[in-house]
Amino acid sequence: MENVLKPKVRRIVVLPSTLFLKDKEPIKTYKIGQLARMLAIFRVEEIIIYCLDREYKNGKYLKSILEYIETPQYLRKLLYPKMKILKNVGVLPPLRTPHHSKIQEAKRIKFREGVVLEKIDENRHLVYIGERNPIFAVGKVEKSRRVTVKLINSRYGKIVDRQEVPYYWGYTVSLAKDIYSILKGDRRCLKIGTSRKGCDIRTKYRELIQNFNNGRYTSVALYFGAYDRGLDELLGNVDVNEFFDYYINFAPNQGTKTIRTEEAVGITLSILNLLMD
């Protein structure tokens, strides 16, 4: 497979915890899988789920399924015990991202995801990378058993931060107590709110291209509202310009009364993908 490099500007998607709340299984798990595919296609590196209407349980569910599908198949049995929440994961599609590639491809690009099986000493570990025999890897292991390994040869590797991998290497998922806690983030992050009440993307695309290419911002965060309320309503009908650098309608002249959150994600990412690269 072709191994695409990471985007120059880190892509972050911010979603409500009420996403797919009213869907029943197995449709709910299937929809999350389709969302994960969309996020991976457009090389999103971080997903933040903000708690809305106290739906923390559904937020945790979204996080669990998104993390499961992001985990390479050969590691899932080691990292995920049998859980009721994973009952319908058979309907999930494969991501087929570079970190899910076969071992032959991993040896070519020199990076592989693994699971620490045994700690030999402070800096040496036995790591399973999907082959019959585990490899020896040096480096410090953080909280998680899952690690990213830079392959030295067929028997040895070095544990590295996933940010050191030059290729698109999947995404991370986190939960936030509310949307306000995320909006206080990094000044070098360009914050874009999406809404049909926002300004027409056709009037702002030149500015966005300049911002993506002048090196001022290291990341861009795309904020999405809920199925029944836009961002302006969630924020209390205040001036949204106090919170976002841009407030944009990415689907002007839409032919439907409403656009679902997952549809808005795909529309927005496809346009930004064109503007950013």
**pLDDT tens digits, one per residue of 15-70:** 999 999 999 999 999 999 999 999 999 999 999 999 999 999 999 999 999 999 99
- Inform me whether the pLDDT recorded for 2 exceeds 70: no
Q: Where are the domains of the chain?
A: 10-96+168-276, 98-164
Does a cis peptide bond (omega within 30 degrees of 0) precede residue 26?
A: yes
Radius of gyration of the chain (CA): 20
**10-96+168-276 has CATH 1.10.10.10 classification:** no
Position 271 scores a pLDDT of 97
Query: Which tens digits make up the pLDDT trace of 74-96?
Result: 999 999 988 999 999 999 999 99
pTM (2 d.p.): 0.95
The 10s digit of each residue's pLDDT in 188-229 is: 999 999 999 999 999 999 999 999 989 889 999 999 999 989
- Per the CB < 8 A criterion, the answer to whether 225 and 234 are in contact is yes
| 10-96+168-276 against 98-164: fold identical | no
277, pLDDT greater than 80: no
Any idea which architecture 98-164 has in CATH? Beta Barrel (2.40)
Label residue 187 by pLDDT band (50, 70, 90): confident
